Amino acid sequence: MNYIFFILISVSIIAGICNHTLDKVVNSMLGACNTAVEVSLSLIGIMAFWLGIMRIAEKSGLVQKISQLLYPVMRFLFKDVKKDSPAIGDITMSVTANALGLTNAATPIGLKVMKELQEENPQKDKATDAMCMFLGMNTAGFQIIPATVIAILVGFGAKNPTDIILPTLIVTTISFVVAIITALILQKIWRKYD
């Protein structure tokens, strides 16, 4: 990724020199840096708010109740995970955090899930079906409340930042379902070759 950014910046500077617009290129870069800092600062507030809400939900037992509701679905999707494995609860927590738009909170949970699934993995050099399913679900990123996107829109001064909720819900639901179906299909295909 560093190489890509280096190439983009280098090409921009060279193009600015060739077109005698280097001052505009530099001003645009500095303006973008200012905007990035402003948006980052606006994200702090909303992320602190949602992380606080998530902590309250966790302490009050709401997350556990959601986990219990989702447990039969997770048990079906993650059949090869041991019944007493903490991974199922953590998978549910990760899905819940993503659904609430807390992708920053979901990342450490997701890493913990993968570590737990790897400990149960009999072939350490191959990903299990559960690992692939979780990766697909996590990558699809089902969201009910896209808190981070709303925060970015607020940071940029959008008049109606919550207008993004319905389109996000539709798109992430479709991608989430497609990820699950694809993982299930590929599990059956790969089993034929194992």
Report pLDDT for 194. 64
Using the 8-state DSSP alphabet, how is residue 102 labeled? -
- Tens digits of residue pLDDT in 97-149: 788 777 777 788 889 999 999 998 888 888 888 999 999 998 888 888 787 77
Domain segments of the chain as ranges: 2-193
DSSP symbol at 101:
T
- Alpha helical stretches, state H, 61-102: 62-77, 87-99
Measured CA to CA, the distance from residue 138 to residue 91 in angstroms comes to 9
Burial (0-12, 13-18, 19+ Cβ within 10 Å), 133: buried
* pLDDT score of 49: 76
Q: What is the pLDDT of residues 42-67, one digit of tens each?
A: 777 777 776 777 678 778 887 678 77
139: CB partners within 8 A, 6+ apart: 179
pTM of the model: 0.69
Min mean pLDDT across 18-22, 145-149, 161-165, 168-172 is at: 145-149
Structure tokens at 109: 């949970």
What value does the mean pLDDT of the chain take? 84
Q: Is 101 exposed, middle or buried (0-12, 13-18, 19+ CB in 10 A)?
A: buried
